[in-house]
Amino acid sequence: MPCSSTPPHLSLSLTPISLQTLFQSPEEGWQLYTSAQAPDGKCICTAVIPAQSTCSRDGRSRELRQLMEKVQNVSQSMEVLELRTYRDLQYVRGMETLMRSLDARLRAADGSLSAKSFQELKDRMTELLPLSSVLEQYKADTRTIVRLREDVRNLSGSLATIQEEMGAYGYEDLQQRVMALEARLHACAQKLGCGKLTGVSNPITVRAMGSRFGSWMTDTMAPSADSRVWYMDGYYKGRRVLEFRTLGDFIKGQNFIQHLLPQPWAGTGHVVYNGSLFYNKYQSNVVVKYHFRSRSVLVQRSLPGAGYNNTFPYSWGGFSDMDFMVDESGLWAVYTTNQNAGNIVVSRLDPHTLEVMRSWDTGYPKRSAGEAFMICGVLYVTNSHLAGAKVYFAYFTNTSSYEYTDVPFHNQYSHISMLDYNPRERALYTWNNGHQVLYNVTLFHVISTSGDP
C-alpha cells in the first residue's frame, strides 16, 4: 500500500539541526528528506526541522548562524593546516637530531678523525646550520596554531551560549573576533602551508575503474575524520555520483550511496568543496552548486563569456571547457572566452553566490594545455595529456605574472583526463585512462625568521 498522508498512519522521525551543523539551504523551515513504508504498513518519513530556538524570520538569528558557519570553516581549515604541516615539522625535527649528532661527533673527534673526514663533518654541519632558525620558527608557529585553536573553541562556546539565550548582546564584538580569526588563519596558511611546486612524485594507482574519462575526489575542506570519496564516470551528460564512505571502501567498491544530479554535467573539472559539488551544467556555461546532504541545488549561475560545449577544451577535448578547482585560497574556475582569444582565464569565485570576485588572463592558449591545477594561488599548466607530459607553465595571481617551468611527472597510463590538487592532502588526484591515480607534490617555501607575522 503506498504511503499516504492520513494522520493515523503517519510516523515522523524528526531530526533537529543545530546551528553548528546547519548548512545553507534554499529555504528554511521543514524539509522532507525521504519516505518509506514500514513492515506494519505505516508510512515512515524523515524530516528536518529548525532548532526550536531558531526563528527563520529573525534577522539576528540568521546573522548568528552565519557567524557559526564561519567559525566552523575556520576550525576545519585549521585542521587541514595542521595535517599539512605536520610532516614538514617532523622533517625539520629530524634534521635537528642529525645536527646534534654531528656536533657531538665533531666535539668528540679530538684529533681521532682524518683531516678529510673532519672536513666532511664540518661541511655537513655548515649545510644544516640554517635549519636551526627554521626549526625555532616552526616551534613558534606551532604555539600560534595552538592559541588560535583555543580562540576558536572559546568563540564557538560564546556563540552557542548566545544561540541558546537568543540575545543580541555582544554580536558586533563577536563578528569582529570572527573576522580577526579568519585573517590570522589566512596568514598562518600562507606562512606555513604554501610554496612553489618543485616536484611531483611517482604515481600511486589507487584503483582501475570506469571508462577512459572521468573524475574522482575527496572534500578539500572536510575534517580528518571525513574520508569520503566521490566518483563520476564519463565526461558528458552524466548525472550519477557515487559517494564512498572511505578510501578503503572505494578501493574495494563497497559501502557507497548514489546521488542523481538534477542536471547533467559536462567535462571532468568537478570539485567537492565544503560538502557541495561544483560542476558545469551540460551544454551551457552555467556553474552548479549541488549540496550532498540536502540533495539539492543551492545555487547556479552563468560564468560570463565562458566558452562551453567543446568550444575551448583542453587538448584532449571531452567538453573540458570549464574546470573548477580548490586550493589554500578557496574556489577557482579555469576557462576561456572569445574576448581572451582562446587564452586561459582564471577566476576566483565566491563559493556561496558563485559570483566572479576577480579574473586574470594568463595568456596561455587553452587548447595547448593538457590539464591545469591551482596551488597557493598559482595556476600550473601541463603541456600535454599524453605520455611525456610535464608541468610547463605557471601563472602567479598574486603578482599577475608567469614563468615557464620544467617539472616532469610520470604519465603511467598515457591519457590524463582529470588532474586536480587537494590542499588538505597536498596531493594531485588524477584520472588516467580508466585508472584513479594519486601524486604527492613537493612545495618549496621560505620561512621568515625575522619574527614578523
- Report the chain's mean pLDDT, rounded to a whole number: 78
Sheet holding 10-17, edge to edge: 10-17, 43-50, 31-37
CATH code for position 342: 2.115.10
Q: Indicate if 147 and 226 belong to the same structural domain.
A: no
Q: How confident is the model at residue 25 (pLDDT cuts 50, 70, 90)?
A: very low
| Strand pairing class (214-217; 427-432) | unpaired
Q: Of 9-13, 53-57, 88-92, 202-206, which one has max mean pLDDT?
A: 202-206
Determine which of 33-42, 126-135, 192-201, 293-302 has the lowest per-residue pLDDT on average.
Answer: 33-42
Please give the Cα distance from 416 to 213 (Å, whole number): 8
Pick the closest to residue 133 from 101, 173, 99 (CA basis): 99
Q: Indicate if 116 and 252 belong to the same structural domain.
A: no
Among residues 193, 210, 245, the one where a domain terminates is 193
Q: How confident is the model at residue 108 (pLDDT cuts 50, 70, 90)?
A: confident
Structural domain of 87: 60-193
In the numeric block, the cell 532548532 is attached to: 51
* pLDDT value, residue 47: 40
Q: Does 17 map to a domain?
A: no
Cβ-in-10-Å burial (0-12, 13-18, 19+) of 354 comes to: buried
Q: Indicate if 180 and 240 belong to the same structural domain.
A: no
Q: Indicate if 101 and 182 belong to the same structural domain.
A: yes
> Whole-prediction pTM value?
0.66
Q: Indicate if 214 and 185 belong to the same structural domain.
A: no
Average pLDDT (362-383) is 96
Cβ-in-10-Å burial (0-12, 13-18, 19+) of 453 comes to: exposed
Sign of the four-CA dihedral 105, 108, 109, 112: negative
Please give the Cα distance from 4 to 171 (Å, whole number): 45
Q: Indicate if 225 and 83 belong to the same structural domain.
A: no
Q: How many domains does one find in the chain?
A: 2
User: Over the stretch 125-138, which tens digit does the pLDDT of each residue have?
Assistant: 776 666 666 666 66
Is residue 395 pLDDT above 80, yes or no? yes
* pLDDT value, residue 153: 73
**What is residue 340's DSSP assignment?**
G
Q: Indicate if 427 and 299 belong to the same structural domain.
A: yes
Cell numbers that stand for 119 in this block? 672536513
Q: Indicate if 230 and 84 belong to the same structural domain.
A: no
Average pLDDT (416-420) is 97
Q: Indicate if 135 and 276 belong to the same structural domain.
A: no
Taking the CA of residue 114 as centre, how many other CA atoms within 13 Å lie in the half-sphere pointing to its CB? 3
Q: Indicate if 162 and 205 belong to the same structural domain.
A: no
Q: Does 125 map to a domain?
A: yes
Q: Indicate if 243 and 383 belong to the same structural domain.
A: yes
Q: Indicate if 436 and 290 belong to the same structural domain.
A: yes
Among residues 193, 214, 232, the one where a domain terminates is 193
